[in-house]
Amino acid sequence: MALGDLSSSSSTSELHVLAVDDSIVDRKVIERLLRISACKVTTVESGTRALQYLGLDGDKGSSGLKDLKVNLIVTDYSMPGLTGYELLKKIKESSAFREIPVVIMSSENIQPRIEQCMTEGAEDFLLKPVKLADVKRLKELIMRGGEAEQEKTSNLISPKRILQNNIFFFIIFFIITITIIFIV
């Protein structure tokens, strides 16, 4: 495998999504929806498990569990134990994970619930049953956000590069000038 291949896989546009849902049927469906949309998927059955996976459950030993950076969290709202809203809050309170977009799914179209989640920082609110079009639109939204991030950092790098290139030319020019002076 050439070095070129390695570098292209690190800048790959594949998202790693953590999907949280207590329903085994819904987990199967969301997993397939995400896989067919070219995402890597990890599914967990509760908010507590999600926090464990991220290493946010206070157990220092579990922080090494995840092997891949999570780019997006999709969670059901109504779950026993920790609800999707409570999970959202915990994620937004954490300095390590607050930048990860969180999307809430619910079978109930309750406006105050939606507003509550959006106010707490949810990226989007999907009404169940989730369809392929919903996931495609979501992926585009997240990718556009990611591309904007990449553009920002590449804009920061190029002026530095330009400066470095300029210093190189100045040095060459200086050497040539000195050489000419000696010759003359």
Partner 1 sequence: MDTLVAQLQRQFRDYTISLYHQGFLDDQFTELKKLQDECSPDFVAEVVSLFFEDCEKLIGNMARALDQTGNVDFSLVGSSVHQLKGSSSSVGAKRVKGLCVTFKECCDSQSFEGCVRCLQQVDIEYKSLKAKLQDLFNLEQQIVQAGGRIPQVDI
- Binding status of residue 26 toward partner 1 by CB under 8 A: yes
Q: Which residue in the set 88, 126, 128, 138 belongs to the binding site for partner 1 (CB under 8 A)?
A: 128
Would you count residue 29 as binding partner 1 (CB under 8 A)?
Answer: yes
Q: What is the DSSP string of 100-156?
A: S-EEEEESS--HHHHHHHHHTT-SEEEESSP-HHHHHHHHHHHHHHHHHHHHHHHHH
Q: Nearer to partner 1 by C-beta: 22 or 120?
A: 22
| 24 is an interface residue for partner 1 by CB under 8 A | yes
Contact residue for partner 1 among 48, 62, 63, 78 (CB under 8 A): 78
Name residues whose C-beta falls within 8 Å of residue 103's C-beta, 6 or more positions apart in sequence: 72, 73, 74, 75, 122, 123, 124, 125, 126, 138
Q: What span, in angstroms and rounded, lies between the C-alpha atoms of 101 and 91?
A: 9
Q: Which of 6, 25, 148, 156 is close enough to bind partner 1 by CB under 8 A?
A: 25
Find the binder of partner 1 among 28, 98, 137, 144 (CB under 8 A).
Answer: 28
Interface contacts to partner 1, rule CB under 8 A = 22-26, 28-29, 32-33, 36, 78, 107, 128-129, 131-132
